[in-house]
Amino acid sequence: MKQPIKQLRTFLLALLPAALMALTPVSAKETPPEGSAPKAFTLTAQRSISLPNGLNVTFVQYGNTPKVTVRLLTETGSVDDGAKDAVSELAYQLLLEGSKNRDAKAIAQAAATMGGQVNAVVDVNSSFLELDVLSEFAGEAAALLADIVIHPNFTEADKNRLLTNYVRDLKVEKSQAQSQAAEAFYRHIFGNHPYGKIYADEKVVEGLTLDDFNQFVNTHLVASRSHLFVSGQFDEAKAEAAIRDAFAAMPQGAGRVLTTADSAAKPGLVFIPRDKAVQSTVRIGLPVVDPSHPDYVGLDLMNTLLGGAFSSRITRNIREDKGYTYSPGSAISNRIKAAVWFEQADVTAEATAAALVEIIKEIKLLQNTPPTEQELNGFKNYKGGIFVLQNSSRSAIINQLWRLKTHGLPLSALENYVQQTNAVTPQQLSDLAKKYLPLENMTLVVVGDESVKAQLAAVPELKALFKL
pLDDT 10s digits, 137-162: 999 999 999 999 999 999 999 999 99
Beta bridge partners of 341: 286, 332
If one counts the domains in the chain, the total is 2
pLDDT 10s digits, 228-269: 999 999 999 999 999 999 999 999 999 888 888 877 778 899
* 273 and 228 inside one domain: no
- Contact (CB, 8 A) for 317 and 287: no
Domain final residue, candidates 194, 216, 246: 246
Of 33-42, 55-64, 222-231, 262-271, the range with the lowest mean pLDDT is 33-42
Q: How confident is the model at residue 13 (pLDDT cuts 50, 70, 90)?
A: very low
In what helix (H) or strand (E) does residue 5 lie, and over which residues does it extend?
A: helix 2-23
Residue 72's nearest CA partner among 125, 114, 128 is 128
* 297 and 438 inside one domain: yes
For residue 208, being part of any structural domain is answered with yes
* 186 and 292 inside one domain: no
Contacts of 435 (CB under 8 A, 6+ apart): 295
Of 149-153, 201-205, 323-327, the range with the lowest mean pLDDT is 323-327
* 222 and 285 inside one domain: no
For residue 123, being part of any structural domain is answered with yes
Q: Is the pLDDT of residue 136 over 50?
A: yes
* 230 and 294 inside one domain: no
For residue 12, being part of any structural domain is answered with no
Per-residue pLDDT, 310: 92
Give the integer Cα–Cα distance in Å for 293 and 337: 9
Per-residue pLDDT, 16: 35
Report if pTM > 0.75: yes
For residue 141, being part of any structural domain is answered with yes
| Side-chain half-sphere exposure of 430, counting CA atoms within 13 A | 14
For residue 20, being part of any structural domain is answered with no
Give the integer Cα–Cα distance in Å for 419 and 421: 5
For residue 319, being part of any structural domain is answered with yes
Give the integer Cα–Cα distance in Å for 229 and 128: 11
Phi, psi torsion values for 57, nearest 5 degrees:
-130, 130
Give the integer Cα–Cα distance in Å for 227 and 199: 27
Q: How far is CA 251 from the centre of its chain?
A: 30
* 306 and 226 inside one domain: no
* 190 and 328 inside one domain: no
Give the integer Cα–Cα distance in Å for 56 and 406: 14
Mean pLDDT for the chain?
91
* 279 and 151 inside one domain: no
* 315 and 366 inside one domain: yes
Contacts of 429 (CB under 8 A, 6+ apart): 298, 301, 302, 305, 366, 370, 371, 376
CATH classification at residue 439: 3.30.830.10
* Averaged pLDDT for residues 330-357: 96
Task: Note down the domain range covering 69.
Answer: 46-246
- Contact (CB, 8 A) for 94 and 263: no
Strand 56-61 with 329-335, pairing: unpaired
Give the integer Cα–Cα distance in Å for 447 and 273: 6
For residue 119, being part of any structural domain is answered with yes
Q: Is the pLDDT of residue 82 over 80?
A: yes
Domain final residue, candidates 186, 215, 246: 246
For residue 31, being part of any structural domain is answered with no
Domain final residue, candidates 192, 215, 246: 246
* 308 and 340 inside one domain: yes
* 221 and 348 inside one domain: no
Characterize 231-247 residue by residue with b for buried, 16 or more Cβ atoms within 10 angstroms of its Cβ, and e for exposed: bbbbeeeebbebbeebb
* 227 and 136 inside one domain: yes
Per-residue pLDDT, 14: 37
SS3 content of the chain, % helix, strand, coil (to 5): 50, 20, 30
Q: Is the pLDDT of residue 382 over 60?
A: yes
